[in-house]
Amino acid sequence: MGLKNTNQQKYLLSKIATGNGHGEDSPYFDGWKAFDSNPFHFNENPHGVIQMGLAENQLCFDLIQKWIMNNPEASICTPEGVNDFRDIAIFQDYHGLREFREAVAKFMAKGRGDRVRFEADRIVMSGGATGAHEMITFCLADPGEAFLVPTPYYPGFDRDLRWRTGVQLLPVVCESSNNFKVTRQALEAAYERARENNITVKGLLITNPSNPLGTVLDKETLRNIVSFINEKNIHLISDEIYAATVFSQPDFISISEIIEEEITCNRDLIHIVYSLSKDLGFPGFRVGIVYSYNDAVVHCSRKMSSFGLVSSQTQHLIASMLSDDVFVDRFIAESAERLGKRHGVFTRGLASVGIDCLNSNAGLFVWMDLRRLLEEQTFEAEMKLWRVIINEVKLNVSPGSSFHCSEPGWFRVCFANMDDNTMDVALTRIHSFVLQNKVRVPSKRQCWERSNNLRLSSSSRRVDDKLMAQCLSSPHSPIPQSPLVRART
Ligand SMILES: Cc1ncc(COP(=O)(O)O)c(C=O)c1O
């Protein structure tokens, strides 16, 4: 076909269509492709790649399904709900259903411990947080202007904020030495670098709780951030899509709570991006939200939202579900508990073979420290290790470089998108890999102490027993089976 000719394509199509601004050729997406071409299945493809690169929350679908069964009138496609079909099917106002906006505003407050209120009239919908980020960027910045983003950050931002808007993202370099804290010094340094390069900075984008770190920003950091953006008179976008995934202390503090305090803040500069993709586990529903404290931004983004409205059928269902206080309260509590439990099983499993993660209490992933497994402390060595993990250990984890991490050797590993059995297999593979490669494992004493401190669930005990047995055999004797063979056990 003629279109195969790249030059011809360049001539026929737009720069956006022929450029690679989407960022699809990064290792982050390559890992997904490796999984797609050989997906793990417990019985049908036990040698396949396990998807640990997808931040999905699949631990509470039973609760959602039960609610749907008990509330058939919430769907317009059931005998109980079909009477609403006509009204909902023809509805196409870009303000969205009033009850949908009210229910989402209430849910956002619940996800923040009801310490703060949200106005339904400030809720603007979009196609997931992905659409919300692009929409708010279109409202706040022109091509060539920039947003500062603390590293490491979610790779999708390079697509969502930059690709079609022509806006730039500039890293605020955060480091492991202080647990990747967003310091005033790092913010000033990034701002100064932009000025030296004659780039206009229009705002700062933070993710709280953080993807990929799984940590929450403390009050002091948030106050510093608010005073920084006020001093520079630039916008603050706070991506809070993991707000209700916090499973242990410290509590999540939303930017909305900080600006309610007595500190001086120009509220016109504050915008929250939210979605139901993570907290409820509905990425397929594409329910994204821009919540801006700036009236002009609310009006403009509402008009723009025509390009990515949430289907009225979805709005109708969500409105009904999120108005059920008893269900929502129970869901938030149960989801946090299950996430905390899964996080505990996974991090303890890693710790029993000497792998540490950044201390975290939120999100659907851990930030795994494999620096001591690198042949040398370079990003080339990180990629080499990543290829081994994908091709031989057959786990799709994401290398830190794809999150713009400033130090090689960190990997994001998702733990909530699979069942307990798959998690067991993943841990067993990691364990075999570590021991096979005779990398430094903890002493027998350390192993014992770590495991002794644990209260284990029955499924985690299965894995930990296996790990302990191997740990206690000898850290120097290579495991005689390949990770693939072990995966069948
Ligand atoms: C921090 C962050 N923002 C935005 C998104 C996109 O979310 P959505 O599925 O709602 O578009 C993700 C998805 O992983 C994310 O981690």
State the distance from the centre of ligand 1 to the C-alpha of 86, rounded, in angstroms. Answer: 32
Kindly state whether residues 315 and 365 are assigned to the same domain.
no
92 pLDDT band, cuts 50/70/90, is confident
Token pair listed for 439: 């990398």
**Which of 57, 217, 278 gets mutated to test ligand 1 (max ligand atoms within 8 A of its CB)?**
278
Q: How many Å apart are CA 86 and CA 472, to the nearest integer?
A: 66
Lowest average pLDDT, out of 13-27, 92-106, 132-146, 357-371, goes to: 13-27
State the distance from the centre of ligand 1 to the C-alpha of 154, rounded, in angstroms. Answer: 8
Token pair listed for 337: 């508990």
What is the helix (H) or strand (E) element at residue 458, kind and residue range? helix 458-473
| Index of the ligand 1 atom closest to the CA of residue 130 | 11
Kindly state whether residues 109 and 162 are assigned to the same domain.
yes
| 3-class DSSP assignment, residue 398 | strand
Contact predicate 345/460, CB 8 Å: yes
The reply to whether the predicted model has a pTM over 0.85 is yes
Beta bridge partners of 368: 357, 411
Contact predicate 441/471, CB 8 Å: yes
State the distance from the centre of ligand 1 to the C-alpha of 129, rounded, in angstroms. Answer: 5
Q: Look at residue 420 and tell me if it is in a domain.
A: yes
205 versus 19: which is more confidently predicted? Answer: 205
* Residue that the structure tokens 């900080």 belong to: 258
448 pLDDT band, cuts 50/70/90, is very low
Q: How far is CA 220 from the centre of its chain?
A: 23
Q: How many Å apart are CA 271 and CA 292, to the nearest integer?
A: 4
Using a pLDDT cut of 70, give the percent of the chain over it: 87
In this structure, the residue with its CA closest to atom 4 of ligand 1 is 129
Residue 473 has pLDDT above 50, yes or no: no
Q: How many Å apart are CA 164 and CA 394, to the nearest integer?
A: 34
Q: Which residue range forms the structural domain that includes residue 405?
A: 2-56+329-487
**Which of 277, 282, 287 gets mutated to test ligand 1 (max ligand atoms within 8 A of its CB)?**
277
Beta bridge partners of 289: 125, 274
In this structure, the residue with its CA closest to atom 13 of ligand 1 is 55
Type of residue at 327: F
State the distance from the centre of ligand 1 to the C-alpha of 155, rounded, in angstroms. Answer: 10
Query: What pLDDT score does 475 carry?
Result: 27
In this structure, the residue with its CA closest to atom 14 of ligand 1 is 55
| Index of the ligand 1 atom closest to the CA of residue 277 | 10
CB neighbours of 323 closer than 8 A, spacing ≥ 6?
99, 102, 103, 106
Q: Look at residue 198 and tell me if it is in a domain.
A: yes
State the distance from the centre of ligand 1 to the C-alpha of 241, rounded, in angstroms. Answer: 7
CB neighbours of 344 closer than 8 A, spacing ≥ 6?
454, 460
Kindly state whether residues 255 and 140 are assigned to the same domain.
yes
Kindly state whether residues 81 and 36 are assigned to the same domain.
no
Residue range 112-160, pLDDT digits in tens: 999 999 999 999 999 999 999 999 999 999 999 999 999 999 999 999 9
Task: Report the CATH number at residue 400.
Answer: 3.90.1150.10
Q: How many Å apart are CA 242 and CA 332, to the nearest integer?
A: 12
Distances (CA, A) of 343 to 181, 353, 357, 415: 22, 16, 11, 7
Give the residue from 268, 153, 169 showing the smallest Cα distance to 208. 153
* Residue that the structure tokens 């993991």 belong to: 242
| Index of the ligand 1 atom closest to the CA of residue 210 | 1
Contact predicate 149/170, CB 8 Å: yes
Kindly state whether residues 82 and 47 are assigned to the same domain.
no
DSSP letters for 324-365: -HHHHHHHHHHHHHHHHHHHHHHHHHHHTTT-EE----SSSE
Residue 474 has pLDDT above 70, yes or no: no
Ligand 1, CB within 6 Å, residue ranges: 55, 128-130, 154, 156, 207, 211, 239, 241, 275, 277, 283, 288
Kindly state whether residues 41 and 121 are assigned to the same domain.
no
Kindly state whether residues 310 and 196 are assigned to the same domain.
yes
| Index of the ligand 1 atom closest to the CA of residue 207 | 1
Query: What pLDDT score does 22 carry?
Result: 81
Kindly state whether residues 80 and 47 are assigned to the same domain.
no
Query: What pLDDT score does 460 carry?
Result: 39
State the distance from the centre of ligand 1 to the C-alpha of 438, rounded, in angstroms. Answer: 37
In this structure, the residue with its CA closest to atom 2 of ligand 1 is 154
Mean pLDDT of 339-365: 96
Kindly state whether residues 378 and 249 are assigned to the same domain.
no
For 37-103, strand residue ranges (E) read 50-51
CB neighbours of 110 closer than 8 A, spacing ≥ 6?
244, 328, 329, 332
Mean pLDDT of 276-303: 96
Query: What pLDDT score does 32 carry?
Result: 80
Among 323, 343, 372, give the residue marking a domain's end: 323
35 pLDDT band, cuts 50/70/90, is confident
State the distance from the centre of ligand 1 to the C-alpha of 3, rounded, in angstroms. Answer: 33
Q: Look at residue 399 and tell me if it is in a domain.
A: yes
Token pair listed for 31: 């890992």
Token pair listed for 146: 């920039």
Q: Running DSSP on this structure, what letter comes out for residue 150? A: E
| Index of the ligand 1 atom closest to the CA of residue 276 | 10
How many domains, the chain?
Answer: 2
| Dihedral of alpha carbons 209, 214, 220, 222, sign | negative
Kindly state whether residues 289 and 395 are assigned to the same domain.
no
Q: Look at residue 61 and tell me if it is in a domain.
A: no
342 pLDDT band, cuts 50/70/90, is very high
CB neighbours of 147 closer than 8 A, spacing ≥ 6?
137, 141, 161, 167, 168, 169, 170, 201, 202, 203, 204, 205, 237
Kindly state whether residues 317 and 366 are assigned to the same domain.
no
Instruction: Provide the annotated active-site residues.
Output: 154, 239, 241, 278
Q: Running DSSP on this structure, what letter comes out for residue 480? A: S
* β-pairing verdict for 395-396 and 235-239: unpaired
In this structure, the residue with its CA closest to atom 3 of ligand 1 is 129
Q: How many Å apart are CA 57 and CA 241, to the nearest integer?
A: 12
Kindly state whether residues 124 and 22 are assigned to the same domain.
no
Q: How many Å apart are CA 109 and CA 116, to the nearest integer?
A: 6
